Chain A
Amino acid sequence: MDNIYLPHPARIIEVKQETPDIKTFKLKFDDEAIGRSFDYKPGQFVEASVSGEGEATFCVSNSPTRKGSIECSVKKMGKVTQGLHELDVGDPVGLRGPYGNGFPVEEMKGKNLVFIAGGIGLAPLRSLINYCLDKRADYKTITIINGARSSKDLVYKDEYKVWEKAKDTHLHLTVDYQEENWTCMVGMVPKILEEVKPTCENSIAIICGPPIMIKFTMPVLMKLGFCGPAIITTLEMKMKCGVGKCGRCNIGSRYICKDGPVFNYAQLEELGYGF
């Protein structure tokens, strides 16, 4: 019988320092056949193992339309993430997955999309943004509001130019406080959203960021006319098994690892919880 906890051996093929405490790791399975058969949707996640440290959960931050590797952006926080940060190109890791439900990319077809991200919350959205851009004809106007504490804390800076230039796509970058040579917007994400005023008509908002950002952005989305099913988020909680057994990541009767991590606001309200 197969061991569901067994990770596949993989290697780091590229490391990019995104911010002082966030690195993006490009990973490749040792066995190419596994790499080819590793099918995932934007919003799904993997469990990554670091020798001697343990395992931790990371969303896949690159789009499945750009196959060949798995990218995970890792903020240095606990034991496993610190261990990962010490690794370099060529070092081995373990990967199992993909897990979770992923974003409803089919239901999103033919809609205007409003992406709202804060800090490393852009990681799961980056996968989805690039997916939508690669299938541009399927989606209407794309609005991206991306905020961070300071310009140093913005992730995926290289991609902003591509996003800006993409057809019918609007990128709004913001930092919390004004800085030298900063020419984009200044202010917290909820305030910027209020200024940008994306239409709620035939639109879906996809939001991911720290709980405090989500808390203050929700009322703004409501005011703009977005209703429960049209607001999608991807949740995070401490996870261990990734397959609905270890029992810690539930919100009400739903497990984030199995039934999520992507939920819409209507589902969460039904579970008796706000964002």
Chain B
Amino acid sequence: MVEEIRSKAKELLKTKRVDIIIGYKRASDGVSATPAFVNTVEGADELIWDAYCTYNLSRYLNDFPGKKKGIVAKACDAKSIIVLLQENQLRREDIFVIGVECSGVIDEEKLRFGEGDADRIQFDQRCKGCDPSVYPICDLLIKDKGRAKTPGLEKDPYEAVRKFEVKSIQDRFNFWKEEFSRCIRCYACRGVCPSCYCPRCVADQTMPAWFSKATSFEGNFAWNVTRAIHLAGRCIDCGECERACPIGIPLRDINKKIEKDVKELFGYEAGLSDNGKPLFASFDKEDPEDFIR
């Protein structure tokens, strides 16, 4: 696969179909991956692809205005690209999507700075709910011939959410109170998210300041809830926010809950097709409106 990615990247750069390839390269630790930005044919030789390539690179697509971009995209990244196209953050003709068949990425927490051992790889929890055969957008799909380790689809991707939903409101509140109280407000969840592209995030505004900048429960709660709600109908569950969180707040659990609500209330799933309008840009007279009373 790696050779196919490299040769395609070289071809795209040589023919000037794209100016830059956003892909993965080996990180300085010799084991994990780091984003690569390749703009020369020779540079394409540093591109890699394996289970360490966890990042959602579509986050970088808007870092190169006016340039044609090629991007190495997993199934989840492809969904993010759909969302960006739907929201007019990208022009289709400016990107070339090199889809890579993904069998799940590793759980970094469990491998963090231990010795890398591919056979004992623990797949990330987030990959268990992903159907990697769905590539909603790609210009070329590079297949994984030796694909064996697919984490597979969970029977019910919302099992954890359902278990949580039956708890009392007080229990649920206490759970999140404890989790959010530990938030250090580093905004890494925002930084890695392809859909958090607001030029001036609500958290940074000062006139007025919408919520406390202090790491107190009130401010942390406001930030985390605002982040999650703002991604309603837009989050494609790449799980990058949860992976990036240094102190381990289970952000995917909130994202999943909202995803489930959106699906049940509006029959909408984000990132599947760029034909439709984004959820919050569409209106249907069948939409439930029991919140207006």
A residues near B, CB below 8 A?
78-79, 82
Question: Which chain A residue lies CB-closest to B207?
Answer: A79
**Contact residues in A for B88 (Cβ distance below 8 Å):** none
* B170 is an interface residue with CB less than 8 A from chain A: no
Tell me the dominant secondary structure on chain B's binding face: loop
Using CB atoms and an 8 Å cutoff, list the residues of chain B in contact with chain A: 206-207
Q: A82 contacts which chain B residues (CB < 8 A)?
A: 207
| A residues less than 8 Å from B207 (CB atoms) | 78-79, 82
A23–B207 CA distance with the chains assembled, in angstroms: 20
Number of A-B contacts (CB under 8 A): 5
B270 to chain A, nearest CB (A): 36
5 A-B pairs with CB atoms under 8 Å apart are A78-B206, A78-B207, A79-B206, A79-B207, A82-B207
A47 to B94 CA separation, bound complex (whole angstroms):
48
- Going nearest first, the 5 A-B pairs with the smallest beta carbon separation are A79-B207, A79-B206, A78-B207, A78-B206, A82-B207
A75 to chain B minimum Cβ distance, whole angstroms, is: 15
Q: Which residues of chain A come closer than 8 Å to B206, judged between CB atoms?
A: 78-79
A82 to B207: give the CA distance in the assembly, Å.
10
Q: Does more than half of chain A's interface fall in helix, strand or loop, or is it mixed?
A: helix
A78 / chain B contacts, CB cutoff of 8 Å: 206-207
Interfacial chain B residues near A79, Cβ < 8 Å? 206-207
Nearest CB on A from B254, distance (A)? 31
Complex CA gap A78/B207 in Å reads 8
CB of B134, distance to nearest CB on chain A (Å) = 46
- Give Cα A82–Cα B208 distance, bound, in whole angstroms: 12
Q: Smallest CB–CB gap between A238 and chain B, Å?
A: 12
**Min C-beta distance of A91 to chain B, whole Å:** 20
For the complex, what is the distance from the CA of A82 to the CA of B206, rounded to whole Å? 12
Least CB distance, A76 to chain B, in whole angstroms: 12
Q: In whole angstroms, what is the CA distance A79 to B206 when docked?
A: 7
Minimal beta-carbon separation of A6 from chain B (angstroms): 20
Which chain B residue lies CB-closest to A82?
A: B207
Look across to chain A and name the residue whose beta carbon is closest to the beta carbon of B208.
A79
Closest Cβ–Cβ distance, residue B138 to chain A (whole Å): 43
With both chains docked as a complex, state the minimum distance between the C-beta of A56 and any C-beta of chain B, in angstroms: 12
User: Bound complex: CA of A78 vs CA of B206, how far in Å?
Assistant: 8
Query: With the chains together, A52 CA to B206 CA distance in Å?
Result: 12
> Within the assembled complex, what's the spacing in Å between the Cα atoms of A93 and B207?
20
C-alpha gap A79/B208 in the complex (Å): 8
A86 to chain B, nearest CB (A): 13
Nearest CB on A from B192, distance (A): 24
Min Cβ gap B203→A in Å is 15
Nearest to B206 among chain A residues (CB) is A79
From residue B141, how far is it (CB to closest CB) to chain A in Å? 47
Smallest beta-carbon distance B260→chain A, Å:
39
Q: How far is the CA of A34 from the CA of B206 in the complex (A)?
A: 32
What is the chain A residue whose CB lies nearest that of B209?
Answer: A79
Q: How far is the CA of A78 from the CA of B208 in the complex (A)?
A: 10
Question: Shortest CB–CB separation between residue A55 and chain B, in angstroms?
Answer: 13
User: How distant is B8 from chain A, measured CB to nearest CB, in Å?
Assistant: 42
- The chain B residue with its CB closest to the CB of A80 is B206
Shortest CB-to-CB span from A261 to chain B, Å, is 23
User: What CA separation (Å) do A107 and B234 show in the bound complex?
Assistant: 63
Least CB distance, B188 to chain A, in whole angstroms: 20
CB distance from A39 to the nearest CB of B (A): 33
In the complex formed, the residue of B with least CB distance to A54 is B206
Give bound CA distance, A110 to B206, whole Å.
47
